[in-house]
C-alpha cells in the first residue's frame, strides 16, 4: 500500500458530490492509486430490473383502491392534523441525517437495501421511499428531506459498492450507462487517432525530414533499387484507380 | 403539482447532479490515471462520499479494517488506508453535517452489519467476517475439551463440601461436574427407607445422622420399587382423597352448551349494561345518562340562583339587584335613584 505523501487538503463545498470528487482527486494527488481507493473485488452482481407481471398487478390493484376525494383534506379536523402537518421532530438537517444514517446502518435495513439493489431497485427510488416515509411520519419537513437526498443516496451507493453490486442510480436500467460512456469514449478516441493519422498522411507530414540524400546507402538491397529504377514509371500506387 | 411529484422532480435533479459529477470526475481522473473505467470512479466517489457523510464510520461499520485490502481503517483517524487518511478531511468537513459522535455507534454496529453482509455472500466484507468467525468456533472447541476430560470430585470431597473450583485449581486439569455428581450420588450411603419417606424425614437430617450421606436417587427408586404409590403434591396439600374426573370431562356436550349459553348471556348482560350506561334509564324521568356527569356550569352559583327563581339564564342581567332587596322595593337597577345633577 502506497504511503500518502501528505495529509488531506481542507475542502469547503455545499455539495457532497463535489466534496467526494475533490477528495478522490486529492487522494490521487497525495499518492494513492485508484485501486487503493476503490479496490477491485472481482465481477459485480448485476442489479438488473426484470419485468414482473405479479408486481405490476399488485401496483395496479393498489392504485385502484381509491384515492382521496378532491378537497377531502380541507374537511379534516384542524385539531387533529396529520403527522407531517405538525412541527417536525428534526428541524436541524444534521440531526435528521444522523437519524437517517443510523436507520440505514441497521443490519436488517442493510440486508433489505442490498437485496433491493441486487434486484434492480434504483438508488434514487430507495432513498426517496425512505425519506418520504419519514417525512409522512413527521420526522422532518420537505426542505430537510431534499437536503438529505444526496447524502442518503451516497450512503446507499456505498452499501451497494461494498456488496459488489452493479446498481441502478435512477429509476430505469441505467447500470450500464457509465460503461456505455466508456465505450463511446473509446470509440471516439480511436476515431480521433485514425483521423490524425489520415491527416498526417494527407498533409504529407510523414515525409517530413525524409530526403533521398539522408537515406543511408545499403539499407535497401541494390537489386531492388535497380528494379525500381527499371520499372519506375510502371509502378502504381496501391490507392490508384485500378485497370477497368 | 402535488407534493410527491415535486419531491420526485427534485430527486431527479439530485440524481442527475450525481451522474454529472461522476462524468466530470471521470474526465478529471483520466488526466491523472489512464485507462480507467467510469464504474471504478463511481465506486471511489461513493466511498469518498460515504466517508464524508458518516465521518468514515459507515465503512468501518461495514467491516473495513486496516490491511484488509479495502478502505483501510475508516473509523480511526490514524488509519493507513484511504478512508483513514481522508477521515481527517471528513472530520473537518462534517463538523457542519455529522459529528464524531456518529463514529462510536457505527463502530459498535460494525460486527452485526459485517456478519449480515457475510451471510448475504457479500465478497467485499467477507474478509472481515473471516477474521471473526473462526475465533468463535475455536472458542467452543476449547471450552468443551476440559469439561469432559476433568477428574470428578470424590465422594469424600463432596461430603466434606469441597468447592469444585478449589479442587479443580489444585488438580490443575479441571473437574468434570457432569461425571462428579452422578458418581457421588450413586455411591451414597444407605438410602432413606420407605417409612422414613412417608414420615417426611429430611434426607439431609438422615444423612447427618448416618455420617455417610444419603443417595436420594436410590432412595426414591427403592420407595417406588416397593410398591408404594405416593400421593401427589396437591393431594398432600389438600389432605383429601384423589380428585375425581371433572364435570367437563364427564359431560363435554353439556359443558359446551353451558359455555355457549353462559357466554351469550354474559355478552347480553354486558351489552345491556353498556347501553344503559350510555343512554340512561328511560323509566327515570329527568335522570342523566349513566356515563354523563354534572357539568361545571350546573354548579355555577349564578345559574343556581337563577334556576331557583325561575329566571332565564340569558336574562339574568336584568335581575341584578346589588342590595336591592325586597325591603328596598326590588326596584330594577337601571331605575334606581341616582344623585341628581343640577
Higher pLDDT, A93 or A179: A93
Please give the Cα distance from A37 to B61 (Å, whole number): 17
- Which position has the higher pLDDT, B181 or B174? B174
Chain A partners of B71 at a C-beta cutoff of 8 Å?
37, 39
* Contacting residues of A for B59, CB less than 8 Å apart: 158, 162
What is the spatial distance between Cα B243 and Cα A205, in angstroms, rounded to a whole number?
A: 118
3-state DSSP assignment of residue A165: strand
CA nearest to B217, candidates B177, B178, B187: B187
Q: Is A46 part of any domain?
A: no
Cα end-to-end distance, chain A, whole Å: 67
Most distant pair of Cα atoms in chain A: their distance: 109
Residues in contact with A29: Cβ distance below 8 Å, sequence separation at least 6, in sequence order? B32
Q: What is the pLDDT of residues B247-291, one digit of tens each?
A: 566 666 666 655 555 555 555 555 555 555 555 555 555 555 555
B residues 32-91 closer than 8 Å to A (CB): 32-33, 36-54, 58-59, 61-62, 67, 69-72, 80-82, 85-86, 88-89
pLDDT of residue B103: 36
**Structure confidence at residue A88 as a pLDDT band (50, 70, 90):** very high
CB-side exposure of B180: number of CA atoms within 13 Å? 24
Tell whether B116 lies on the interface with A, counting CB pairs under 8 A.
Answer: yes
**B23 and A181 in contact by Cβ < 8 A?**
yes
Higher pLDDT, B242 or A8: A8
A4-48 pLDDT tens trace: 788 888 888 888 888 888 888 888 888 888 888 888 878 888 888
Contact B32 A25 (CB under 8 A): yes
Q: pLDDT tens digit string along A130-159?
A: 999 999 999 999 999 999 999 999 999 999
Question: What's the average model confidence in pLDDT over B87-103?
Answer: 43
Select the residue from B65, B82, B91, B105 to test the A interface by mutation, using most A Cβ atoms within 10 A: B82
* Residues of chain A contacting B125 with CB distance shorter than 8 Å: 162-163
pTM of the predicted protein model: 0.49
| Residue B66, helix vs strand vs coil | coil
Of the ranges B150-154, B184-188, B209-213, the best mean pLDDT one: B150-154
The chain-wide mean pLDDT, for chain A, equals 83
Give the best residue of A12, A29, A38, A98 to mutate against chain B (max B CB count within 10 A). A38
Give how far the C-alpha of residue B28 lies from the chain's centroid of Cα atoms, to the nearest Å: 52
* Chain A residues touching B4 at Cβ < 8 A: 132
E strand or H helix at B259, and its extent?
A: helix B252-279
For A104, the domain range is: 85-174
A101–B17: do the CB atoms touch at under 8 Å? no
Give the position of cell 403434591.
B233
Q: Which of B16, B48, B123 sits opposite A24 (nearest CB)?
A: B48
User: Other CB atoms closer than 10 Å to residue B15's CB: what's the count?
Assistant: 23
Residue with the larger pLDDT of the pair B233 and B54: B54
What is A167-186 written as a DSSP string?
Answer: -BSSSSS-TTHHHHHHHHHH
Integer Cα distance of B44 and B48 in angstroms: 6
How sure is the predictor about A212, in pLDDT bands with cuts at 50, 70 and 90? Answer: low
Cβ of B51: how many Cβ atoms within 10 Å? 33
Confidence of residue B51 (pLDDT cuts 50, 70, 90): confident
B120, with CB counted inside 10 A (0-12, 13-18, 19+), is middle
Q: pLDDT tens digits for A103-127?
A: 998 889 999 999 999 988 889 999 9
Q: What is the pLDDT of residues B131-176, one digit of tens each?
A: 233 323 333 333 333 444 456 667 777 777 777 667 666 655 554 4
CB A41 within 8 A of CB B117: no
Ramachandran area for residue A204 (φ above 0: left; ψ -120 to 50: alpha; else beta): left
Specify whether the CB–CB gap between A179 and B39 falls below 8 A: yes
A119, A47 Cβ separation under 8 angstroms: yes
Q: To which residue does cell 459498535 refer? A: B108
Instruction: Compute the distance between CA of residue A229 and CA of residue A13 in angstroms, rounded to an integer.
Output: 72
Terminal-residue alpha carbon distance, chain B? 75
What kind and span of H or E run contains B236?
A: helix B233-238
How far does B46 lie from chain A, in Å, by closest CA? 5
Tell me the C-alpha distance between A139 and A122, whole Å.
23
Q: What is the pLDDT of residue B101?
A: 36
Whether B102 sits inside 8 A of A101 (CB atoms) is yes
B49: Cβ contacts below 8 Å, ≥ 6 apart? A16, A17, A19, A20, A151, A154, A155, A157, A158
Mean pLDDT of A233-243: 73
**Residues of chain B neighbouring A128 (CB-CB closer than 8 A):** 7-8, 11
pLDDT over 70 (residue B234): no
Helix H segments across chain A? 16-29, 34-37, 53-63, 93-104, 107-118, 123-136, 142-162, 177-203, 222-231
Q: Is A160 within 8 Å of B46 when comparing Cβ atoms?
A: yes
Determine, for residues B44 and A37 on separate chains, whether the beta-carbon distance falls below 8 Å: yes
pLDDT at B102 over 60: no
Percent of chain B with pLDDT over 70: 29
pLDDT at position B137: 33
Distance from CA of A206 to the nearest CA of B (A): 27
Q: What is the pLDDT of residue B100?
A: 35
ipTM above 0.90, yes or no: no
Looking at A134-148, A158-172, B175-189, which range is the least confident one?
B175-189
- A95 found inside a domain: yes
Range from B99-103, B151-155, B213-217 that averages highest in pLDDT: B151-155
Query: Is the CB of B100 inside 8 Å of chain A's CB atoms?
Result: no
Instruction: Give the percent of chain A with pLDDT over 70.
Output: 91
Report yes or no: A175 and A50 within 8 Å, Cβ to Cβ: no
Residues of B in contact with A166 (CB under 8 A): 39
The whole-number average pLDDT for the span B187-200 is 65
Residue written as grid cell 403527522? A83
Instruction: State yes or no: pLDDT of B107 exceeds 90.
Output: no
Q: What is the pLDDT of residue A91?
A: 92
> What CA–CA distances, in Å, run from B91 to B56, B74, B261, B277, B313?
8, 12, 73, 65, 72
DSSP B97-141: T--GGGHHHHHHHHHHHHHHHHHTT-HHHHHHHHHHHHHHHHHHH
DSSP 8-state symbol, B185:
H
- Residue A114 counted as domain residue: yes
Question: Which residue in chain A is spatially nearest to B82 when comparing CA positions?
Answer: A37
pLDDT score, position A86: 92
Q: Which residues pair with A26 in a beta bridge?
A: none
Which among B42, B85, B125 has the least Cβ separation from residue A178?
A: B42
Of A27, A111, A162, the CB nearest to B82: A27
- What does the pLDDT read at residue A155? 92
Indicate the number of domains in chain A. 1
More confident residue, B299 or B121: B299
Which three cell numbers, joined as nine digits, stand for A129? 421511499
- Residue B338: how many CB atoms within 10 A of its CB? 7
* Cβ pair B36, B22 in contact under 8 A: no
CB contact under 8 A, B36 and A34: yes
Place B300 in a pLDDT band, splitting at 50, 70 and 90. Answer: confident
If you average pLDDT over each of A43-57, A104-118, B92-106, which comes out highest?
A104-118
Q: What is the mean pLDDT of residues A188-202?
A: 80
Mean pLDDT of chain B: 59
Measured between CA atoms, the residue of chain B closest to residue A103 is B106
Residues A34, B81: C-beta atoms closer than 8 Å? no
Please indicate whether residue B215 or residue A228 has the higher confidence score (pLDDT): A228
> Is A241 a member of any domain?
no
Give residues with Cβ within 8 angstroms of A22, minimum separation 6.
A11, A13
Instruction: Return d(Cα B275, Cα B290) in angstroms, integer.
Output: 9
Task: Compute CA distances B197 → B106, B190, B208, B331, whole Å.
Answer: 62, 13, 16, 101
Are the CB atoms for B130 and B84 separated by under 8 Å?
no
pLDDT at B187: 47
Q: How far apart are CA A103 and CA B249, in angstroms?
A: 54
Any domain includes A60: no
Domain membership flag for residue A155: yes
Identify whether the C-beta of residue B52 lies closer than 8 Å to the C-beta of residue A19.
yes
Burial of A223 (0-12, 13-18, 19+ CB in 10 A): exposed
Amino acid at each position: 500500500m502506497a504511503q500518502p505523501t501528505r495529509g488531506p487538503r481542507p475542502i469547503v463545498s455545499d455539495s457532497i458530490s463535489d466534496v467526494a470528487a475533490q477528495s478522490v482527486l486529492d487522494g490521487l494527488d497525495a499518492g494513492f492509486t485508484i485501486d487503493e481507493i476503490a479496490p477491485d473485488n472481482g465481477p459485480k452482481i448485476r442489479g438488473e430490473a426484470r419485468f414482473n407481471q405479479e408486481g405490476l398487478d399488485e401496483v395496479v390493484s393498489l392504485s385502484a383502491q381509491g384515492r382521496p376525494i378532491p378537497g377531502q383534506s380541507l374537511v379534516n379536523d384542524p385539531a387533529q392534523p396529520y403527522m407531517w402537518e405538525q412541527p417536525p421532530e428534526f428541524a436541524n438537517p444534521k440531526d435528521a441525517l444522523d437519524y437517517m444514517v443510523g436507520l440505514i446502518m441497521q443490519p436488517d435495513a442493510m440486508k433489505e437495501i442490498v437485496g433491493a439493489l441486487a434486484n434492480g431497485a434504483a438508488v434514487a427510488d430507495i432513498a426517496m421511499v425512505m425519506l418520504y416515509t419519514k417525512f409522512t411520519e413527521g420526522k422532518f419537513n420537505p426542505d430537510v428531506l431534499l437536503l438529505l437526498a444526496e447524502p442518503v443516496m451516497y450512503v446507499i451507493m456505498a452499501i451497494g459498492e461494498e456488496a459488489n453490486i452493479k446498481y441502478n442510480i435512477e429509476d430505469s436500467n441505467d447500470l450500464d450507462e457509465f460503461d456505455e460512456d466508456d465505450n463511446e469514449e473509446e470509440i471516439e478516441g480511436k476515431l480521433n487517432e485514425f483521423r490524425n493519422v489520415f491527416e498526417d498522411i494527407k498533409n504529407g507530414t510523414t515525409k517530413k525530414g525524409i530526403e533521398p540524400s539522408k537515406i543511408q546507402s545499403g539499407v535497401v538491397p541494390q537489386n531492388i533499387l535497380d528494379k525500381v529504377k527499371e520499372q519506375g514509371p510502371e509502378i502504381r500506387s496501391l490507392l490508384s484507380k485500378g485497370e477497368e | 403539482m402535488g407534493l410527491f411529484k415535486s419531491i420526485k422532480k427534485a430527486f431527479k435533479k439530485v440524481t442527475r447532479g450525481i451522474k454529472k459529477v461522476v462524468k466530470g470526475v471521470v474526465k478529471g481522473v483520466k488526466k491523472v490515471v489512464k485507462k480507467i473505467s467510469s464504474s471504478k470512479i463511481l465506486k471511489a466517489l461513493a466511498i469518498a462520499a460515504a466517508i464524508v457523510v458518516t465521518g468514515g464510520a459507515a465503512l468501518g461499520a461495514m467491516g473495513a479494517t486496516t490491511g484488509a485490502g479495502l478502505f483501510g481503517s475508516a473509523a480511526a483517524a490514524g488509519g493507513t488506508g484511504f478512508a483513514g487518511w481522508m477521515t481527517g478531511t471528513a472530520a473537518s468537513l462534517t463538523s457542519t453535517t455529522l459529528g464524531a459522535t456518529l463514529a462510536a455507534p457505527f463502530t459498535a454496529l460494525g460486527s452485526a452489519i459485517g456478519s449480515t453482509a457475510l451471510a448475504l455472500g457479500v465478497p467485499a466484507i467477507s474478509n472481515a467476517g473471516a477474521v471473526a468467525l473462526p475465533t468463535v468456533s475455536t472458542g467452543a472447541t476449547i471450552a468443551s475439551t476440559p469439561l469432559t476430560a476433568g477428574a470428578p470430585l470424590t465422594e469424600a470431597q463432596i461430603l466434606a463440601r469441597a468447592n469444585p473450583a478449589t479442587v479443580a485449581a489444585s488438580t490443575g486439569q479441571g473437574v468434570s461436574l457432569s461425571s462428579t455428581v452422578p458418581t457421588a450420588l450413586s455411591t451414597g450411603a444407605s438410602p432413606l427407607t420407605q417409612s422414613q419417606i412417608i414420615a417426611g424425614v429430611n434426607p439431609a437430617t438422615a444423612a447427618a445422622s448416618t455420617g455417610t450421606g444419603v443417595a436420594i436417587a436410590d432412595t426414591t427408586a427403592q420407595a417406588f420399587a416397593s410398591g408404594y404409590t405416593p400421593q401427589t403434591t396437591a393431594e398432600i396439600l389438600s389432605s383429601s382423597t384423589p380428585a375425581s374426573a371433572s364435570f367437563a370431562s364427564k359431560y363435554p356436550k353439556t359443558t359446551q352448551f353451558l359455555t355457549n349459553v353462559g357466554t351469550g348471556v354474559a355478552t347480553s348482560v354486558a351489552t345491556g349494561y353498556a347501553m344503559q350506561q350510555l343512554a340512561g334509564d328511560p323509566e327515570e324521568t329527568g335522570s342523566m345518562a349513566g356515563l354523563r356527569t354534572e357539568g361545571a356550569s350546573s354548579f355555577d352559583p349564578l345559574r343556581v340562583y337563577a334556576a331557583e327563581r325561575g329566571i332565564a339564564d340569558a336574562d339574568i342581567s336584568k335581575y341584578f339587584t346589588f342590595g336591592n332587596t325586597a325591603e328596598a322595593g326590588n326596584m330594577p337597577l337601571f331605575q334606581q335613584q341616582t344623585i341628581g345633577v343640577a
